[in-house]
């Protein structure tokens, strides 16, 4: 869903209420820029700032023995910058060179993976409904997140792209000046030549139409500069390119929630179709559908199993009103798995545990099944109305989460590829999925 696009990037100060952001920007999938006073109290605004310059030692030295991946912005391979692996200490030395021969961008750095991000920044209330990072915290099979630091000297840039999974993202510029080019969904297609082909990696020298000018042959594009302290909300599916006009450091999060889970699901479906087309010559091979899921995982970063598990987790946690830690404590114990909370539990076992808890909840609570059996296509007035009632924002978000989790599960159960995999016929919750399919 994309609402009517504004003529310029809306600029939101601290007076903007969460309910207004949710209903006017998040739900209609529209971009906006937040003023720097939203981040003024963040510890990194002072700790990473050395009189207007980047305190590079303070940022990198705690990780000097770690390996990092950096992008070589002087080269392009198939529309992306090739990645190099080096130690954080070597990147620190590179940064301090007076005349840099290479243009290296330290990006997608999981800086907060082994730290409490609250020691560095305060998650804005506007971005607090974050299924993706909540689910990453809940998972027991890996130690991952979608919270990143980007550090790059003047001239580093990110080629034209849309964010991973079709997710939202937000980018808080801590130090420096960035330039953005961002296109409403579908406008990026005008960048492709008449003979077809791929999207260009660099569009900084192209001609554009003003946003709202739909009749133009040129793509509508917002071009703006992001100053220190400002946060930019990137909607789902909006292609964008970013250039560091000065030395820059930023904090970026990818996320999804009830407002864009439908877009993310459709994106995952489309990516599977691409995978299936690419290996259609071996379609008759036994296990082809499962192999396509493995390829989807390698190509897209996740597959149907992981996405289905995320949505089931959201359904459970919102219905039971439990945190991810509390849901994990409710999971049935596996005798073969250590009780140590740091034990890595395979995703297949976690999926079985979640299905078991879903089944138990459904058997013990008839109202849960009744809610699942409600028409998933009913309108959104029931949860939107809650946003207009004082003090009901958290209830409105929870209700929207439940509505969209149920809608997505219904859509997945009707998906031919999921049915070919038999995901709905196995495990403790198979009876429940059968009830929904037959309803």
pLDDT in tens, 134-185: 999 999 998 889 999 999 999 999 999 999 999 999 999 999 999 999 999 9
pLDDT for res 282: 87
User: What's the pLDDT band for 337 if we cut at 50, 70, 90?
Assistant: low
Residue 275 has pLDDT above 60, yes or no: yes
Residue 97 has pLDDT above 60, yes or no: yes
Q: State the pLDDT at residue 336.
A: 57
In the prediction, which pLDDT does 14 show? 95
Q: Tell me: pLDDT of 131 over 90.
A: yes
pLDDT-based confidence at residue 107 (cuts at 50, 70, 90): very high
The pLDDT score that the predictor gives to residue 413 is 98
pLDDT given for residue 216 in this prediction: 87
Report residue 428's pLDDT band, with 50, 70 and 90 as the boundaries.
very high
Per-residue pLDDT at 391 = 72
Is the pLDDT at 2 greater than 70, yes or no? no
Segment holding 368, helix H or strand E: helix 366-372
Q: Residue 377 has what pLDDT?
A: 74
- What residues form DSSP beta bridges with 384? none
Please write the tens of the pLDDT for every residue from 17-30.
999 999 999 999 99
Q: Is the pLDDT confidence value at 376 over 70?
A: yes
144 CB neighbour count, 10 Å cutoff: 12
- Work out the mean pLDDT of the chain and round it to a whole number: 93
Residue 370 confidence (pLDDT) above 60: yes
Chain segment 30-64, per-residue pLDDT in tens? 999 999 999 999 999 999 999 989 999 999 998 88
In this predicted structure, the answer to whether residue 339 has a pLDDT above a threshold of 60 is no
How large is the average pLDDT for residues 95-119?
91
Identify the bridge partners of residue 217 per DSSP, sorted by sequence position: none
For the chain, give the percent of residues with pLDDT over 90: 81
Determine the Cα–Cα distance for residues 182 and 238; give it in Å rounded to an integer. Answer: 7
Residue 384: its pLDDT value, please? 81
Average pLDDT over residues 410-422: 97
Sign of CA dihedral 353, 355, 358, 364: negative
Q: What is the mean pLDDT of residues 354-368?
A: 98
Q: Are 312 and 355 in contact (CB under 8 A)?
A: yes
Q: Which domains does the chain have, with CATH numbers?
A: 11-255 (2.60.120.650), 261-438 (no CATH)
Output the CA angle 235-239-240, nearest 5 degrees: 95
Pair of tokens at residue 271: 């990516």
Distance between CA atoms of 293 and 280, rounded to whole angstroms?
Answer: 14
State the Cα–Cα distance between residues 400 and 380, nearest whole angstrom.
8
pLDDT reading at 359 higher than 90:
yes
Say how far apart CA 407 and CA 412 lie, in whole Å. Answer: 9
Calculate mean pLDDT across residues 301-305.
97
What local confidence, expressed as pLDDT, does residue 92 receive? Answer: 95
Which carries the bigger pLDDT value, residue 97 or residue 42? 42
Percent over 70 (pLDDT), the chain: 97
CA gap 362, 429 in Å, rounded: 9
């Amino acid at each position: 869903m994309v609402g009517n696009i504004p003529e310029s990037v809306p600029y939101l100060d601290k007076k903007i209420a969460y309910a207004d952001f949710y209903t006017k920007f998040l739900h209609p999938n529209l971009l906006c820029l937040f003023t720097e006073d939203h981040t003024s109290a963040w510890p990194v605004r002072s700790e990473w700032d050395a009189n207007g310059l980047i305190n590079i030692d303070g940022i990198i030295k705690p990780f000097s023995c770690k390996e990092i991946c950096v992008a070589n912005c002087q080269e392009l391979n198939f529309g992306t910058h090739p990645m190099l692996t080096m130690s954080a200490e070597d990147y620190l030395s590179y940064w301090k060179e007076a005349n840099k021969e290479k243009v290296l961008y330290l990006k997608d750095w999981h800086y907060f993976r082994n730290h409490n991000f609250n020691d560095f920044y305060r998650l804005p209330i506007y971005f607090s409904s974050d299924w993706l990072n909540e689910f990453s915290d809940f998972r027991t099979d890996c130690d991952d997140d979608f919270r990143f630091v980007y550090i790059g000297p003047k001239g580093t840039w990110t080629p034209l792209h849309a964010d991973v999974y079709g997710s939202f993202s937000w980018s808080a510029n801590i130090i420096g000046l960035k330039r953005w080019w961002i296109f409403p969904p579908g406008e990026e297609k005008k960048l492709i030549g008449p003979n077809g082909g791929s999207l260009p990696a660099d569009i900084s020298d192209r001609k554009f139409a003003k946003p709202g000018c739909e009749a133009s042959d040129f793509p509508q594009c917002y071009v703006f500069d992001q100053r220190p302290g400002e946060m930019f909300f990137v909607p789902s599916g909006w292609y964008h390119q970013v250039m560091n006009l000065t030395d820059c450091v930023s904090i970026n999060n990818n996320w999804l929630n009830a407002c864009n889970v439908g877009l993310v699901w459709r994106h995952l479906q489309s990516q599977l179709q691409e995978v299936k087309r690419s290996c259609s010559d071996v379609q008759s091979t036994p296990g082809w559908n499962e192999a396509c899921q493995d390829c989807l995982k390698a190509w897209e970063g996740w597959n149907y199993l992981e996405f289905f598990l995320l949505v089931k987790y959201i359904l459970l946690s919102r219905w039971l009103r439990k945190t991810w830690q509390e849901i994990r404590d409710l999971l049935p114990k596996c005798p073969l798995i250590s009780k140590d909370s740091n034990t890595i539990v395979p995703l297949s076992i976690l999926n079985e545990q979640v299905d078991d808890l879903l089944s138990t909840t459904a058997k013990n609570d008839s109202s849960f099944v009744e809610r699942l059996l409600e028409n998933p296509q009913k309108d959104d007035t029931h949860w939107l109305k809650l946003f207009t009632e004082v003090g009901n924002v958290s209830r409105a978000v929870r209700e929207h989460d439940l509505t969209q989790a149920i809608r997505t599960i219904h859509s997945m159960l009707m998906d031919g590829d999921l049915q070919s995999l038999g995901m709905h016929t196995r495990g403790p919750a198979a009876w429940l999925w059968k009830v929904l399919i037959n309803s």
